[in-house]
Amino acid sequence: MHFRVFVDCDRTLVNTDLAFLLSPSLFDRRPKFFLPGKVVMTEARPSAEAFLQALKEHKFDVSILTLGHSRFQSKVLKKLNLLQYVEGIYGPDNWQELKRPDGFVLIDDMSADSVGIAYKFRWLGRHRSLENLDAWDDMVRFHLIQCEPFTGGKKDLLPLTEHLNDVKERMAFQIENGRAT
């Protein structure tokens, strides 16, 4: 059986901004890397590393599920020393490589009724259709843990570590039952 914890990248684990190379942003104090004609400034949510470490300590398989491209997110996570905690990064460029999990939890800043969440659930093999309309909302609420968006800075309104018990309970339920709900 294949069970996995998926974590969104932008506004969940990190905040990333792009600016033109020749701009005041060049002097921004955040960690940065460069793309042709652009400077990328990024910072990790204050609780990001502790959260990813705790997931690994609990022996969860952890992957990134993002609407950003996987190679770009890989650069961001590497720059912030978070790449070591994840087994894979899946986005619109490579979601086809993602093996459908038997069970999962997704931690994301987007709301359950957003188009982005619908895309991600489709990538995870869960499709909304006329046949499952009654059960769709409950299924999404069970698998999705919505966190507060991180927009940068030292303040973490609700640390990701506050969601650890919820992740453990939802994953334990799925593992004990040997299937996803």
CATH at 73: 3.40.50.1000
For the chain, the average pLDDT equals: 93
On whether residue 101 sits in a domain, the answer given is yes
**pLDDT band, residue 132 (cuts 50/70/90):** low
On whether residue 54 sits in a domain, the answer given is yes
On whether residue 120 sits in a domain, the answer given is yes
Whole-angstrom distance, CA of residue 124 vs CA of residue 107: 14
Whole-angstrom distance, CA of residue 47 vs CA of residue 112: 23
Average pLDDT over residues 83-99: 97
**pLDDT band, residue 120 (cuts 50/70/90):** very high
On whether residue 22 sits in a domain, the answer given is no
DSSP H or E stretch at residue 142? helix 133-143
Does the structure show a pLDDT above 90 at 37? yes
Does the structure show a pLDDT above 90 at 104? yes
Average pLDDT over residues 163-179: 92
Whole-angstrom distance, CA of residue 77 vs CA of residue 62: 13
**Quick one: pLDDT at residue 137?**
82
**Quick one: pLDDT at residue 50?**
98
On whether residue 31 sits in a domain, the answer given is no
User: Which residue type, as a one-letter code, is found at position 87?
Assistant: E
Does the structure show a pLDDT above 90 at 125? no
Report the domain count for the chain: 1
Q: What is the pLDDT of residues 39-81, one digit of tens each?
A: 999 999 999 999 999 999 999 999 999 999 999 999 999 999 9
**Quick one: pLDDT at residue 127?**
74
Residue 43: count other Cβ atoms within 10 Å of its Cβ: 22
On whether residue 137 sits in a domain, the answer given is yes
Which structural domain, as residue segments, surrounds residue 171? 3-14+44-177
Residues 6+ apart with CB under 8 A from 1: 102, 103, 175, 178, 179
On whether residue 108 sits in a domain, the answer given is yes
Whole-angstrom distance, CA of residue 151 vs CA of residue 171: 28
Q: Which two tokens stand for residue 163?
A: 């969601």
On whether residue 26 sits in a domain, the answer given is no
Nearest to 44 by CA among 179, 118, 153: 153
